[in-house]
Amino acid sequence: MTPQQTVLLTDRAWPDDSIERRIIEDAGFTLIAGPADPAPVETIDALVAEHQPAAILTCWATVSAAAIASSPELRVVARMGVGLDNIAVAGATDRGVQVTNVPDYCVAEVSDHAVGLALAWTRGLVPADREVHAGSWNPAGARLRRLSTLTCGVVGYGRIGRATAAKLRALGARVVISDPNPPADTGGIEVMPLDGLLAASDIVVLHAPLIPQTHHLISERELALLPQGAFLINVSRGGLIDTAALLAALQAGHLGGAGLDVLEEEPAVPEELLTHSGVIITPHIAFASDASVIDLRRSAAEEVVRVLRGEPAHYPCNTPSPLSTGVSS
């Protein structure tokens, strides 16, 4: 076995590696699987140094610059998902390593999840269910809202943001968007600066990537701009929201609630979030469905095979430097 034949699967969020293994091995490569749960960065570094893979498939585990540098034959790091915050993209670029992701596998699921959280809040589904299970039957105590009378702000207007906006508009809501690079044609949806969107929105949905510029995109100042009683939804990355500021806004009663599929320190959940009646938390599952997970696994594995065969990636996330591969400029 030569290094070029090895693909390392660092971790996975599903029961087995059968799909990945079939695609990789049918293409003539060898799949080596790490632990199912994401291991500490030191463990991943050691696995890469030991197996010298030509490709890395990673779900949640961190692929560090040190790991990338330790395998001279490494040609591609494929994220089994959309965000790249667990991959040292700059380090990969410097060493001529292609980074890829799967940006289109869960558009329906994540947008459905965002809209589901909005509807759960306006209809009071979660607190009502909790009360009934606790033995209370108090319809007069419900404080519900009509979605079609509300303004929904969508932050980030990529594939998923567009899908969420379309679904909210179909339900009658007024939708506004904020994006640093909005498309020329937004289908009649008003584009606003982030501050203006926050001040105008009863519900805010975050669909932004987590990059240095968006870390704590929503903090104390931004939360103060929201109308009294607004609802904040995050189905992107936990680091977009300053958790301490969120807790303060909830405890002060300025923020009416939050729908969170992601947290800053997963899987740790602050006790204040668990006990707040207006907070809905799901365990980072917005991407998931029976269909989307199959699409994800197949697409990521096929991307690895494509790059190892010398073909262009379908979803490149960087432009690898030719200097590190020994090619002169």
Nearest Cα neighbor of 307 from 3, 70, 4 is 4
Contacts 24+ apart (CB under 8 A), 46-51: 47/8, 47/10, 48/8, 48/74, 51/6, 51/8
Residues 6+ apart with CB under 8 A from 135: none
Q: Are 197 and 176 in contact (CB under 8 A)?
A: yes
The answer to whether residue 113 is catalytic is no
How, if at all, do strands 203-206 and 151-155 pair? parallel
50 is annotated as an active-site residue: no
Q: Hey, what amino acid is at 51? A: H
Catalytic residue among 75, 79, 207, 284: 284
Q: Report in angstroms the alpha-carbon separations of 313 from 71, 139, 159, 276.
A: 20, 55, 19, 45
SS3 164: helix
Among the listed residues 237, 264, 297, 306, the single catalytic one is 237
Q: If you ran DSSP here, which 8-state letter would residue 263 be given?
A: -
Q: Is 19 helix (H, G, I), strand (E, B) or coil?
A: helix
Choosing from 50, 220, 266, 311, the catalytic residue is 266
Beta strands, E only, 23-100:
30-33, 55-58, 76-79, 98-100
**Angle between helix 107-122 and helix 159-170 axes, rounded to 10 deg:** 40
Catalytic, 51? Answer no
Query: How many residues are listed for the chain in this entry?
Result: 329
Residue numbers annotated as active site: 237, 266, 284
